[in-house]
């Protein structure tokens, strides 16, 4: 899921947000808490997932 070079704890937060809220709400929640690096990782995860589906 969120696989950018984030520390393990932040990766777990990102993955948990995605599982519980879905990608769009996870990004919104991360931005609300000021976790911009996590929001970017979630967005990147979304983009890479979409690219995998196209191929």
Read off the pLDDT of residues 1-48 as tens digits, 9 standing for 90 and up.
454 578 999 999 999 999 999 999 999 999 999 999 999 999 988 888
pTM assigned to the model: 0.77
Read off the pLDDT of residues 32-42 as tens digits, 9 standing for 90 and up.
999 999 999 99
Alpha-carbon distance 52 to 27, whole Å?
20
For 16-54, give the DSSP string: HHHHHH-HHHHHHHHHHTT-HHHHHHHHHHHHHHHHHHH
Which residue in the block uniquely carries the two structure tokens 């911009």?
A: 36
Which is it for the CA torsion 6, 47, 36, 27, positive or negative? negative
């Amino acid at each position: 899921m969120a696989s950018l070079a984030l520390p393990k704890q932040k990766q777990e937060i990102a993955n948990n947000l995605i599982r519980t809220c879905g990608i769009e709400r996870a990004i919104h929640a991360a931005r609300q808490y000021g976790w911009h690096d996590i929001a970017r990782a979630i967005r990147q995860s979304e983009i890479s997932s979409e690219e995998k589906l196209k191929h």
